[in-house]
A and B are shown apart, each in its own frame.
Chain A
Amino acid sequence: MRRTLILGATSAIAAATARLLTERGDALYLVARDAAKLGAVAQDLRARGAAVQSAVADLTDTKRHEALLAAAADALGGLDVVLIAYGTLADQAACEADYRVAERELRTNLLSVVSLLTHLANRMEAQRSGTIAVISSVAGDRGRASNYVYGSAKGALSLFAQGLRNRLHPSGVRVVTIKPGLVDTPMTAHLKKNPLFASPEAVAKGVVRALDGGPEVVYLPAFWHLVMLGIRALPEGLFKRLRL
């Protein structure tokens, strides 16, 4: 039985992942900000037979991180897997108009995750085992006019995770970076849907596969790997003229 902590457990991808982990018997500890949503997700997993514990917390409050992780580790009797799945899709126009909005987005999507990763890295390095998975985004692979604030937070996060992977390799700790493309979730409810959108369930399957082994940087669904190869390969002189 794996002991798994999910931070941001009410996100659609996290909740779908938690169902799959329940089927295989993981003991789960869920953290999310909204008590009612967290309750609904935990109830679903309990009805499916999972051992679920949970805590309500605003993860942007970095001062609480150490205590929160200690409480989760105590409750589970240790930590084998940690999935960091929260984030906000920044309103690009609002970020452009007001630095404070951009700063808030960077705090949520980057700095608070860096704080968690720092605590987790030290904990798992000491125990010399474990898997840390973080949900980044294909948006972090190249800055675009339509969402470069969100994209820069995710891009920096991917880079941070890459460095951490490098640091933790000798201690046997895996660091997994997950880069979903467009996913049909409440986060993207306002976007017009097209065939590029994947379901949270499909992405969750890929997350579980990545937690189990294999490559430590995964695009979900996999076709985004090719798409982003193409997008990264475009020369800047051309790219800046495109409105993507």
Chain B
Amino acid sequence: MSGAESAYTSQYTSWGRYPRAQHRVRRLAWRHDAEAALTPGDGTVLPYAYGRSYGDVCLNDGGTLIDTRALNRLIAFDPQTGVLRAEAGVSLEQVLAFAVPRGFFLPVSPGTRYVSLAGAVANDVHGKNHHRAGTFGRHVRAFELLRSDSASGRAGCTRTRTDSASGRAGCTRTRTDSASGRAGCTRTRTDGARLVCSPEENPELFRATVGGLGLTGLMLWVEIALKPIRSAELEVETIKFANLDEFFELSAESDATHDYTVAWVDCAASGATLGRGLLMRGNEAADGPLTPHTTRRLNVPLEAPNALLNPLSIRAFNALYYHKRRAKVVRTRQHYSSFFYPLDALGGWNKLYGPRGLLQYQCVLPYAGDAGPLKMIFRAVADSGMGSPLAVLKVFGDLPSPGMLSFPRPGVTLALDFPNAGARTLALLARLDDIVRAEGGRLYPAKDARMSGRDFRRFYPQWRAFARFVDPRFSSSFWRRVTQDAAQETGGDGEDV
């Protein structure tokens, strides 16, 4: 029953709960009859699963969302190699519950496990091990993409029968795979095509889809290479740093010795204490139980009042958090759930930001030994009087991301959370944009709700090449926002700047 849909609803929000949007929703339960979800009739479509991106990349205001959460089945797993093929709506949480007891872990994980496999591909997410492992997309072996248009006219695309990539390690062909015959029958309805994409097969569409924000077609399954682990626990050190120069030193040293590094910065601090924070670094324990996480116990039941996260409470929280640890270095052994997903323990924590939601701001800045640009950002935040309770800093490695629109690049990335205080918040973020632009950095679409189209196109000069791969039936609020004013800008044929 893949075509089930309701009237327009505002139930589907992004994690920042800003902006709000109205959607029709189609729930997709079976991958073999997914064509029905692309049947023309109600505007553009966009896949949606757990809504963990912050701004509007997962929204399609006035159009249709294809809810893929019921596509939650595994397809094949090779216990020798750790290669897992699973349906697009399988969450990282479901992958971990399955894989950890079998001695495998995600090769790359973002800060929440409530993300679908397809969402992780579409945003080419990164984690605390970017300096060692690069982005999620580097570990994707293949995926199947359902296009609404015929792929025959698309250079370099080879049409494939469903699940026919039987040669792939660990994936056995079974009776069900003959569902491809049905795909053929339904093609009359949509003239769609199912394409298996990998670095070797349909490589251009692969590069467009990794980091492609769900716009290049509907992913039906994803095959990833998990990595072996000997324990579900990590040896973790938490180290205090007094300023940004110390952070960069510590980070460089840690990247050489630790698989995972990330830092939290007290961005309410200013003056002599500007840029102080805590660096967390970890390695997997050599032995220990392979127990997966337990499901969370606490939920935020209701929206907090707007005033809960105010500059004063944020300042107090940050100072407390920084001073909680007296020692310079604290060593602990932690379960992966508290190391990677501390916020997942509190379900619906985004509601703490009140009815107006929150704005995330994540940028990457080139770094060549000068912490100046970061200091400018922290100063701008401190001057604005608007604190960010969560300021996360991480140095990216130089492993290239496979996607055309992938966000990570060598340098340092900073993520900030702001309660949405309207014009004041937007003005601060516009100031930060000026710094990022001047420094040759860029912003992360998965975390964005407001960057200008001009900035997006400057940050992602491959956007025009990417646009050729956007499925004509697909769109998003984000994509319209950042491309709608492109036409007036350039008459030329090159990339616009």
A: residues with CB less than 8 A from B are: 12, 15, 35-44, 46-48, 186-187, 189-190, 192-193
State how many angstroms separate the Cβ of A47 from the closest Cβ of chain B: 4
State how many angstroms separate the Cβ of A198 from the closest Cβ of chain B: 15
Closest A residue to B176 by CB, please name it.
Answer: A39
Most buried by B among A39, A43, A46, A193: A43
B27–A35 touching, CB < 8 Å = no
- Which of A40, A42, A186, A193 is in CB contact (< 8 Å) with B31? A40
A36–B182 touching, CB < 8 Å = yes
CB-CB contacts below 8 Å: B137-186 with A: 174-177, 179, 182
A38–B77 touching, CB < 8 Å = no
Report B-chain residues with C-beta under 8 Å of the C-beta of A42: 174, 176
Closest A residue to B33 by CB, please name it.
Answer: A36
A35–B175 touching, CB < 8 Å = yes
- Which of A12, A43, A192, A193 is in CB contact (< 8 Å) with B174? A43
A39–B30 touching, CB < 8 Å = no
For the complex, give the distance between the alpha carbons of A39 and B182 in Å.
14
Most buried by B among A12, A15, A41, A46: A46
Closest A residue to B179 by CB, please name it.
Answer: A36
B30–A40 touching, CB < 8 Å = yes
Closest B residue to A41 by CB, please name it.
Answer: B73
Main SS of chain A's interface residues? helix
A190–B98 touching, CB < 8 Å = no
For the complex, give the distance between the alpha carbons of A111 and B298 in Å.
44
Report B-chain residues with C-beta under 8 Å of the C-beta of A36: 30, 32-33, 176, 179, 182
CB-CB contacts below 8 Å: B371-418 with A: none
Closest B residue to A38 by CB, please name it.
Answer: B176
Report A-chain residues with C-beta under 8 Å of the C-beta of B30: 36-37, 40
Q: List 15 A-B contacts (CB under 8 A).
A: A12-B70, A35-B175, A36-B32, A36-B33, A37-B30, A37-B32, A38-B176, A39-B177, A42-B174, A44-B74, A46-B174, A48-B77, A189-B27, A190-B6, A193-B11
Closest B residue to A189 by CB, please name it.
Answer: B4
State how many angstroms separate the Cβ of A95 from the closest Cβ of chain B: 19
- Which of A38, A44, A186 is in CB contact (< 8 Å) with B75? A44
> Across chains A and B, which 9 residue pairs bring their CB atoms closest together, nearest first?
A39-B176, A189-B4, A44-B73, A47-B74, A186-B1, A36-B179, A36-B32, A47-B77, A186-B29
Report B-chain residues with C-beta under 8 Å of the C-beta of A12: 29, 70
Report A-chain residues with C-beta under 8 Å of the C-beta of B84: 47
B174–A39 touching, CB < 8 Å = yes
Interface size classification for chain B: 20 to 34
Closest B residue to A191 by CB, please name it.
Answer: B6
B175–A40 touching, CB < 8 Å = no
For the complex, give the distance between the alpha carbons of A42 and B177 in Å.
12
Closest B residue to A15 by CB, please name it.
Answer: B73
For the complex, give the distance between the alpha carbons of A187 and B29 in Å.
11
Within 8 Å of chain A (Cβ to Cβ): is B250?
A: no
Most buried by A among B76, B85, B175: B175
Q: A36-B182, A39-B176, A42-B174 are in contact. Are A47 and B76 (CB under 8 A)?
A: yes
For the complex, give the distance between the alpha carbons of A40 and B29 in Å.
11
A40–B176 touching, CB < 8 Å = yes
Report A-chain residues with C-beta under 8 Å of the C-beta of B179: 36, 39
Report B-chain residues with C-beta under 8 Å of the C-beta of A190: 4, 6
- Which of A15, A43, A47, A186 is in CB contact (< 8 Å) with B27? A186
Q: Contact mask B214-236 → A, CB, 8 Å, 1/0?
A: 00000000000000000000000
A43–B75 touching, CB < 8 Å = yes
B: residues with CB less than 8 A from A are: 1, 4, 6, 11, 27, 29-33, 70, 73-77, 84-86, 98, 174-177, 179, 182
A35–B74 touching, CB < 8 Å = no
For the complex, give the distance between the alpha carbons of A35 and B174 in Å.
12
- Which of A35, A187, A193 is in CB contact (< 8 Å) with B176? A35
For the complex, give the distance between the alpha carbons of A20 and B233 in Å.
25
B33–A48 touching, CB < 8 Å = no
Report A-chain residues with C-beta under 8 Å of the C-beta of B29: 12, 186, 189
Report A-chain residues with C-beta under 8 Å of the C-beta of B98: 48
For the complex, give the distance between the alpha carbons of A12 and B27 in Å.
13
- Which of B1, B27, B73 is in CB contact (< 8 Å) with A40? B73
Report A-chain residues with C-beta under 8 Å of the C-beta of B175: 35, 39
Closest B residue to A16 by CB, please name it.
Answer: B72
Report A-chain residues with C-beta under 8 Å of the C-beta of B6: 190, 192
Report B-chain residues with C-beta under 8 Å of the C-beta of A15: 73
State how many angstroms separate the Cβ of A208 from the closest Cβ of chain B: 16
For the complex, give the distance between the alpha carbons of A10 and B182 in Å.
18
Closest A residue to B162 by CB, please name it.
Answer: A36
Report A-chain residues with C-beta under 8 Å of the C-beta of B32: 36-37, 40
A43–B76 touching, CB < 8 Å = yes
Report B-chain residues with C-beta under 8 Å of the C-beta of A44: 73-75
State how many angstroms separate the Cβ of A48 from the closest Cβ of chain B: 6
State how many angstroms separate the Cβ of B184 from the closest Cβ of chain A: 13
For the complex, give the distance between the alpha carbons of A150 and B75 in Å.
34
For the complex, give the distance between the alpha carbons of A42 and B76 in Å.
11
B1–A189 touching, CB < 8 Å = yes
Closest A residue to B3 by CB, please name it.
Answer: A189
For the complex, give the distance between the alpha carbons of A39 and B179 in Å.
9
Closest B residue to A192 by CB, please name it.
Answer: B6
For the complex, give the distance between the alpha carbons of A46 and B177 in Å.
14
Report B-chain residues with C-beta under 8 Å of the C-beta of A46: 174
Report A-chain residues with C-beta under 8 Å of the C-beta of B85: 47
For the complex, give the distance between the alpha carbons of A36 and B176 in Å.
5
For the complex, give the distance between the alpha carbons of A231 and B52 in Å.
39
State how many angstroms separate the Cβ of A238 from the closest Cβ of chain B: 32
A48–B4 touching, CB < 8 Å = no
Report B-chain residues with C-beta under 8 Å of the C-beta of A38: 176
Closest A residue to B31 by CB, please name it.
Answer: A40
Closest A residue to B25 by CB, please name it.
Answer: A189
For the complex, give the distance between the alpha carbons of A190 and B7 in Å.
10
Known: A186-B27, A190-B6. 7 other contacts (CB 8 A): A12-B70, A15-B73, A37-B30, A40-B30, A40-B176, A47-B74, A47-B86
For the complex, give the distance between the alpha carbons of A37 and B6 in Å.
23
Report B-chain residues with C-beta under 8 Å of the C-beta of A48: 74, 77, 98
Report A-chain residues with C-beta under 8 Å of the C-beta of B77: 47-48
Closest A residue to B69 by CB, please name it.
Answer: A184
For the complex, give the distance between the alpha carbons of A15 and B29 in Å.
12
Closest A residue to B72 by CB, please name it.
Answer: A44
Most buried by A among B4, B11, B84, B86: B4
For the complex, give the distance between the alpha carbons of A43 and B77 in Å.
10
Report B-chain residues with C-beta under 8 Å of the C-beta of A37: 30, 32
For the complex, give the distance between the alpha carbons of A187 and B27 in Å.
11
State how many angstroms separate the Cβ of A191 from the closest Cβ of chain B: 9
State how many angstroms separate the Cβ of A184 from the closest Cβ of chain B: 9
Closest B residue to A187 by CB, please name it.
Answer: B1
